[in-house]
Amino acid sequence: MHRWNDLSQIPADLGPTVVTLGNFDGVHRGHKAVLQAVLQLASERGAQTVAVTFDPHPVAVLHPERAPAPVTSLEHRLDLIEHVGLDAVLVEEFTHELALMSPEDYVRTVFVDALHACAVVVGEDTRFGHKNSGDAATLRELGARHGFEVMTVADLGEGQRWSSSLVRQRLGDGDVAGAAAVLGRPHRVMGTVVHGDHRGRELGYPTANLSQDAQGMIPADGVYAGWLTRVALDDDDQERVLPAAISVGTNPTFEGTQRRVEAYVLDRTDLDLYGDQVAVEFVERLRPTLKFDSVEELLAVMSDDVARCREVLSSIVPA
């Protein structure tokens, strides 16, 4: 998949395209329905497929105090879009200048002049242009004027509309299974394994501690069953995806203050992961974070946590 970061990088001889526009944070099942519609329409038109997205999130620029936590990193977002099968993605830097463009100026500059769109596919709730004044109806008017078709994809969901906001809500509640139902896959946090207090190794449960700059929204504090993926290893390497008990929190039993994500790979004390890039995927929340009166009490509960993790993961094929 071609990845363009500026309009100047788009080939001048680019043929007709079917384009979609959105933040695509999380690339959840609703987003995928839009992307699949792009692929279908492009196949019928003999056109290439392009997603246009933004970085940073527009709210982070216009109202930073209200900026939502990113569900995924930009790199993971692009990987997920590529996995759907699109030909190209344009990542536009969202600036105050871009926010001032009228819907017509934006469509003419990006969709018509740069991308040669023969069709545009969007969700019903799409907004764009200065003060979000453009919507699907605006797009249809501009399409008639500039020679491209507009297709809208209806909202989808199971009881609630699938959205990035719903994913954030469920992760904030620790409902990682509910978030996965919207995403269509387990939620992932990625980071570098760094040294911690080495307390887990002393207790017989060595953990991989993710760096503080880990990417992806961190769920509510608690203990989770999930997977640790060593991203540098080949997909068919049996050591790539490993079952793990994952802890999110401050280690209150030991008076910790720094919030951490750490993962114990079940039944493994031989791994040296320091400096490795890993992905931690959350399958099910087992319990909230608790403060214990003694190390012995903590160890007894950790033993139960590991047993429950093994039970939860035993019948699941990792994503």
Catalytic residues, which ones? 262
Q: Is 293 exposed, middle or buried (0-12, 13-18, 19+ CB in 10 A)?
A: exposed
Tokens 């990113």, located at residue: 70
19 is written with which tokens? 């384009």
Q: What are phi and psi of 94, to 5 degrees?
A: -85, 120
Tokens 């329409």, located at residue: 41
d(CA 315, CA 253): 32
d(CA 267, CA 265): 6
The DSSP annotation for the chain comes to -EEESSGGGS-TT---EEEEE---TT--HHHHHHHHHHHHHHHHHT-EEEEEEEES-HHHHH-GGGPPPPSS-HHHHHHHHHHHT-SEEEEEEP-HHHHTS-HHHHIIIIIIIIT-EEEEEEETT--BSGGG-B-HHHHHHHHHHHT-EEEEE---BSSSB--HHHHHHHHHTT-HHHHHHHHTS-EEEEEEEE----HHHHHT---EEEPTT-BS----SEEEEEEEEETTS-TT-TTSEEEEEEEEE--GGGT--S-EEEEEETT------TT-EEEEEEEEEEE-----SSHHHHHHHHHHHHHHHHHHHTT----
